[in-house]
């Protein structure tokens, strides 16, 4: 009988560490760092191929990747990534925020991309080890954190379009400043009725590189017109989908005096954001009288809706004074309040009255999430000590 070796699984216990012989100086003031441009001493790489499975993971000096010019990632864009952060708590311990959600999303994307899937807890173990090895890079200034970028790319050196028989998984990390170094600033959006980010039957719900490249030119056009980011709308009814690279959340006064917190439901066109999920869970905990958790400054009669939102609805609610807030949620900035939305030649004005650059609802989420992320507040098992 012929014995066919079964391909190796991703296995953190096989890790090989090659420490850098030339450690770089760590920036003395992490509050001045530009997002995503300063990387730590090491990176994690794990190769996979279809016949042998996952190679031994390697943590080695951060260095250029050698890629055959025919590598599929350079031609057909098989690439997916995650965005995560690690935080130092007051006890000096490093903490990850809900890494299980990132791993689940990454595996869901891997399946859609015809990439190999893996045991997410193995990759979390490897990321923890990378954090330990580059611990001296962990920012300790208030509000600073370590941005972690797990990435998978197709590396088969062939111009035929087909399954990725070779894949590279790698993780790089950058210390990042508080996103709003001089206090939060609300942003302006231009509702795009011309360019579409995602569509039914497409891949907008996956963290695929391919969802991002085509957003750059529309973003530059919006900037030329005086808006900072694009609000992606879809279809004849101008359904709101996402804000720049963030999920969209809003607050509205209802006739019975309660407040509705609304966000588009998950679908083909909405990325299942970790911050979005967390905001909804916190809002539901706040609205639940049996749960002791509260969002400071947010009315207790909060109704949480995942439902379709359109630009005409937002415009009308702004006009009649029922629109309370609009904000984006995402890992990089946590929450970002919106102050105006350019739509069909008019500027829809959105209230931002929290006094600290956030509306009161967005600000409450920001404070609560930061407290959980830095380990000052326990909520479920969201904050994971490394």
Minimum CB–partner distance for residue 295 and a second copy (Å): 30
Residues contacting residue 216 through CB under 8 Å, at least 6 positions apart: none
Site string for a second copy, 10-39 (x = CB under 8 A): ------------------------xxxx-x
Stretch that binds a second copy, among 125-133, 143-151, 270-278, 293-301 (CB under 8 A): 143-151
- Residues 196-255 binding a second copy (CB under 8 A) are 196, 199-203, 208-217, 219-220, 234, 245
Rounded CA gap, 114 and 154, in Å? 10
| Residue of 16, 50, 56, 65 interacting with a second copy (CB under 8 A) | 65
CB under 8 A, 24+ apart: contacts of 74-78: 75/159, 76/154, 76/161, 77/208, 77/209, 77/210, 77/213, 78/113, 78/114, 78/115, 78/153, 78/154, 78/164
Q: Give the dihedral of Cα atoms 87, 339, 185, 146; nearest 10 deg.
A: 20
40 binds a second copy (CB under 8 A): no
Rounded CA gap, 295 and 309, in Å? 24
| Residue of 68, 296, 344, 378 interacting with a second copy (CB under 8 A) | 68
103 binds a second copy (CB under 8 A): no
Minimum CB–partner distance for residue 289 and a second copy (Å): 41
Site string for a second copy, 156-195 (x = CB under 8 A): -xxxxxxxx-----x-x-x-------------------xx
Rounded CA gap, 115 and 281, in Å? 31
Residue 248 — left, alpha, or beta (φ > 0 → left; ψ -120 to 50 → alpha)?
A: beta
Minimum CB–partner distance for residue 2 and a second copy (Å): 24
Rounded CA gap, 266 and 131, in Å? 32
Q: Which is nearer to a second copy, 139 or 251 (CB)?
A: 139
Rounded CA gap, 12 and 81, in Å? 19
Minimum CB–partner distance for residue 79 and a second copy (Å): 6
| Residue of 70, 181, 312, 316 interacting with a second copy (CB under 8 A) | 70
* Cβ(123)–Cβ(148) below 8 Å: no
Q: Which is nearer to a second copy, 74 or 384 (CB)?
A: 74
Stretch that binds a second copy, among 19-27, 78-86, 306-314, 366-374 (CB under 8 A): 78-86
Residue 262 — left, alpha, or beta (φ > 0 → left; ψ -120 to 50 → alpha)?
A: beta
User: CB burial class (10 A; 0-12, 13-18, 19+) of residue 119?
Assistant: middle
Stretch that binds a second copy, among 68-76, 126-134, 180-188, 293-301 (CB under 8 A): 68-76
Minimum CB–partner distance for residue 186 and a second copy (Å): 20
Rounded CA gap, 131 and 136, in Å? 9
Minimum CB–partner distance for residue 297 and a second copy (Å): 32
Return the beta strands (E) in 254-351 as ranges.
Answer: 259-263, 302-306, 323-330, 334-343, 346-349
Residue 18 — left, alpha, or beta (φ > 0 → left; ψ -120 to 50 → alpha)?
A: beta
Q: Residue 219: in which H helix or E strand, if any? A: helix 216-224
Stretch that binds a second copy, among 62-70, 90-98, 116-124, 314-322 (CB under 8 A): 62-70
Residues paired with 244 in a beta bridge = none
- Residues 111-130 binding a second copy (CB under 8 A) are 111-114
| Residue of 20, 60, 61, 77 interacting with a second copy (CB under 8 A) | 77
Task: Kindly list the residues in this chain that would bind a second copy in the complex (CB under 8 A).
Answer: 34-37, 39, 43, 62-70, 73-79, 81, 111-114, 147, 149, 151, 153-154, 157-164, 170, 172, 174, 194-196, 199-203, 208-217, 219-220, 234, 245
């Amino acid at each position: 009988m012929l014995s066919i070796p079964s391909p190796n699984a991703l296995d953190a216990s096989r890790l090989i560490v090659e420490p850098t012989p030339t450690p770089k100086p760590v920036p003395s003031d992490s509050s001045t760092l530009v997002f995503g441009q300063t990387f730590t001493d090491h990176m994690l790489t794990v190769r996979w191929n279809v016949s042998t499975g996952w190679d031994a993971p390697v943590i080695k000096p951060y260095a250029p990747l050698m890629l055959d010019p025919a590598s599929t990632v350079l031609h057909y864009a098989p690439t997916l990534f995650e965005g995560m952060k690690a935080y130092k708590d007051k006890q000096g311990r490093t903490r990850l925020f809900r890494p299980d959600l990132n791993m689940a999303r990454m595996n869901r994307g891997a399946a859609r991309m015809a990439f190999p899937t893996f045991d997410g807890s193995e990759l979390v173990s490897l990321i923890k080890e990378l954090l330990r090895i580059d611990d001296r890079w962990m920012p300790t200034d208030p509000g600073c954190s370590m941005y972690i970028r797990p990435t998978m790319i197709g590396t088969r050196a062939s111009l035929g379009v087909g399954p990725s028989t070779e894949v590279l998984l790698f993780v790089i990390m950058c210390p990042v400043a508080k996103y709003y170094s001089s206090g939060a600033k609300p942003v302006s959006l231009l509702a795009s009725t011309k360019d579409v980010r995602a569509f039914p039957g497409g891949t907008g719900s996956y963290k695929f590189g391919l969802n991002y490249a085509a957003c750059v030119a529309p973003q530059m056009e919006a900037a030329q017109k005086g808006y900072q980011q694009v609000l992606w709308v879809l279809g004849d009814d101008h359904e709101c989908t996402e804000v720049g690279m963030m999920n969209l959340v809003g607050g509205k006064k209802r006739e019975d005096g309660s407040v509705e917190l609304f966000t588009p439901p998950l679908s083909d066109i909405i990325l299942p954001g970790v911050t979005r999920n967390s905001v909804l869970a916190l809002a539901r905990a706040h609205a639940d009288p049996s749960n002791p958790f509260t969002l400071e400054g947010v009315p207790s009669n909060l109704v949480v809706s995942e439902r379709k939102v359109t630009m005409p609805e937002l415009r009308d609610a702004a006009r009649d004074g029922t629109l309370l807030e609009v904000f984006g949620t995402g890992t990089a900035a946590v929450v970002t309040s919106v102050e105006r939305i350019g739509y069909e030649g008019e500027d829809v004005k959105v209230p931002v009255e929290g006094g600290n650059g956030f509306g009161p609802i967005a600000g409450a989420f920001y404070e609560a999430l930061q407290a959980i992320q830095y380990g000052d507040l326990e909520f479920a098992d969201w904050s994971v000590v490394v």
